[in-house]
Structure 1
Amino acid sequence: MIKAAFNERNYSRAVSFVQKNAIGGGFFVLILLLIGYLTYSTIIWMLDDQRLPLSRIILQGDLHHVSALDVQRAFSQLEHVGTFMTQDVRELQVAAESISWVSHAAIRKQWPDTVKVYLTEHKALAIWNGNVLLDTYGQLFNADIGQADDGLVKLYGPDGTNNEVLDTWKTVTPMFKELELSITSLVLNDRRAWQLILDNGVRLELGKESLMERVKRFVNLYKKLGEDAQNVSYIDLRYDTGASIGWFPKQELTQENLNDKVL
């Protein structure tokens, strides 16, 4: 009898334990299901373009050539613009930097529907080979030359020499300031010879070697020409010493005497 009562109590306890754990386990499973449902619902809600669309663009930066409409057009070229939660800002950055005048783009999202776009524009310094712009860092970029500032220097050279030509222009430009002249065109031809044209129309043939020495020689020569300088068509400095001067037609008869005077 005692043994039977003991077994009955143990059985009741075991049943009670199983029942309690079953209730607890069921509740735990219910909680997991609820969490899963809420997570799934939240993800679906975030992925819904109608609920968290990226609908506003805030454009920032010191801009002269790029507008918000340009940015909108660039973003519209993307295959699909996602929601606030799903859109990769790197894709937006690539799209923004595809705009011709844009040098760099920084993109960030602002809750709940805004994209902030900070743009840095190229600063055009020269026209390269007649159809491409060159910025202050020597980087080539395709943009409407008509939108660039007037009076940009024209630089020419073989492919891949844009930085060399730009650096040379920067180096020799100060040498003309004391004559109150500036370079309108600088050419490095396929034979690696230099030619430049000044804003008064004078063409300088500088050759392949001793560029700086020849520019200095021109400066000294030009000072000696005085008022006759306005009649000069070109000056050929491709000599060890001296130079050959070409005059406009009305001065051709006196060219030899003037050469003797200044060389």
Structure 2
Amino acid sequence: MDGGGRVVFALIGRKSGETRSHPQDSYAGGDDRRVLPRPLRRIVRFGISLATGRIHVPDHVGTLATFAFMGSVGLYGMSLGGHAQDVAQATTAAVGFAIEDVRVSGNSETSEIDILQLLGLDGTTSLVALDVDAARRKLSELPWVQYAEVRKVYPRTIEVMLKEREAFGVWQHGSDLSLIERNGSIIAPLRDSKFASLPLFVGRGAEAAAAKFVDDMAEWPEIRSRVKAYVRVAGRRWDLHLDNGVVLKLPETNVPKALTVLARLEKEQKLLERDVAAVDLRLEDRTTIELTAAATQRRNDAVEARNKALKKAGET
């Protein structure tokens, strides 16, 4: 302290490794002030410089910051309201990413119009905003589609590749007719005569047992080629309706033996070409033949004529 009562700080040279202190940091006065951490000191100094005008702020920064803040708030609001996808689609479509070409492959029974309508492609749909996974799931819900793949080809094209289900037969349940797969799954209702050549399966449970039974009949191709309808009876056995109207009543078990007997009768006696209404093969030890109405009438007439002739011969 000098003679005037002032405090004099001595400037002492720093040794190697020592840090420089500000006078207020070294002052051991009565208030003993705390020192802010270094990162906070930088923030405080920047705030003071900005407030005092020592930092130059470019023109229009405030306006741009306001618009950026308002845009962020708007995007957040659209996200909460579920409109972000719509905005993204409209924006990207406007700058040249609207879908203009759809290439479909693998479709035989599925129309391209159904595909476009299901995906909502109206000429303004954005390729960028298109959800490929959602589109694939929608396409897989179409009746004939077993599997679907959707791929984007920038800038304006999507490729749709389908694998369709294969119709094995027609299933009649009640008055309804449905196309079925080999495993019995229903594909779609029968709408036209396009699938008239497919085998017809009738009755409860017929759709599930159809494929195995048709495969089992492969050993008798002559008989199988003449079958027009496979009728499931009580969920246990089959009646076969042939193309000439003859009904073959098969047993519940040991069907190969019954068909072997039928094949032998057909070869030796041409049984199925006669006036036969039905052939009952349900019993292993006998085969019952049911004649047509006309054949039955002719037989009855013949029996009656014979009886009359015998009676007349007995009277004389």
The answer for the alignment partner of 1:89 in structure 2 is 132
Q: Distance in 2 between matches of 1:52 and 1:147?
A: 46
Aligned counterpart for 1:118 among listed residues 161, 169, 191: 161
The answer for the alignment partner of 1:164 in structure 2 is 209
Cα pair distance change 1:195/1:144, threshold 3 Å: closer
The answer for the alignment partner of 2:177 in structure 1 is 131
Alignment of 1:142 onto 2:185: no
Q: Distance in 2 between matches of 1:221 and 1:188?
A: 24
Aligned counterpart for 2:92 among listed residues 47, 52, 61: 52
Give 1:124 shift: 1.3
Q: Give the aligned residue type for 1:107.
A: V
The answer for the alignment partner of 1:246 in structure 2 is 290
Instruction: For residues 133-172 of structure 1, give each alpha carbon's deviation from its aligned partner in whole angstroms, at most 9, with x where no partner exists.
Output: 112343221144316433111112325x523222112221
The answer for the alignment partner of 1:75 in structure 2 is 119
Q: Distance in 2 between matches of 1:175 and 1:247?
A: 27
Cα pair distance change 1:244/1:203, threshold 3 Å: same
Identity of aligned residues (%): 18
The answer for the alignment partner of 1:259 in structure 2 is none
Verify the 8 A CA contact 1:102 1:122 in the aligned structure 2. yes
Cα pair distance change 1:140/1:46, threshold 3 Å: closer
Q: Distance in 2 between matches of 1:52 and 1:234?
A: 71
The answer for the alignment partner of 2:110 in structure 1 is 66
Q: CA RMSD in A?
A: 4.1
The answer for the alignment partner of 1:220 in structure 2 is 264
The answer for the alignment partner of 1:258 in structure 2 is none
Instruction: For residues 77-115 of structure 1, give each alpha carbon's deviation from its aligned partner in whole angstroms, at most 9, with x where no partner exists.
Output: 9xxx97444443232122212222222212222223433
Moved over 6 A (4+): none
Verify the 8 A CA contact 2:165 2:181 in the aligned structure 1. yes
Give 1:47 shift: 5.3
Q: Distance in 2 between matches of 1:164 and 1:126?
A: 12
Alignment of 1:209 onto 2:253: yes
So what's the TM-score if we normalise by structure 1? 0.70
Give 1:191 shift: 5.0
Cα pair distance change 1:179/1:238, threshold 3 Å: closer
Cα pair distance change 1:149/1:140, threshold 3 Å: same
Q: Distance in 1 between matches of 2:223 and 2:203?
A: 26
The answer for the alignment partner of 2:273 in structure 1 is 229
The answer for the alignment partner of 2:32 in structure 1 is none
Verify the 8 A CA contact 2:119 2:138 in the aligned structure 1. yes
Q: Distance in 1 between matches of 2:247 and 2:180?
A: 23
Q: Give the aligned residue type for 2:117.
A: R
Cα pair distance change 1:165/1:179, threshold 3 Å: closer
Cα pair distance change 1:151/1:204, threshold 3 Å: same
So what's the TM-score if we normalise by structure 2? 0.60
The answer for the alignment partner of 2:238 in structure 1 is 194
Verify the 8 A CA contact 2:249 2:282 in the aligned structure 1. yes
The answer for the alignment partner of 2:152 in structure 1 is 109
Verify the 8 A CA contact 1:165 1:188 in the aligned structure 2. no
Q: Distance in 2 between matches of 1:46 and 1:10?
A: 60
Q: How many residues align?
A: 233
Give the 3-state SS of the residue equivalent to 1:103 in structure 2.
strand
Please list every run of 5 or more consecutive structure 2 residues that lacks an aligned counterpart in the other structure. Answer: 1-7, 15-19, 23-37, 47-54, 56-60, 76-83, 301-316
Please list every run of 5 or more consecutive structure 1 residues that lacks an aligned counterpart in the other structure. Answer: 256-263
Q: Distance in 2 between matches of 1:151 and 1:167?
A: 19
Instruction: Compare relative contact order (CA 8 Å, sep 6+) and give the higher one, 1 or 2.
Output: 1
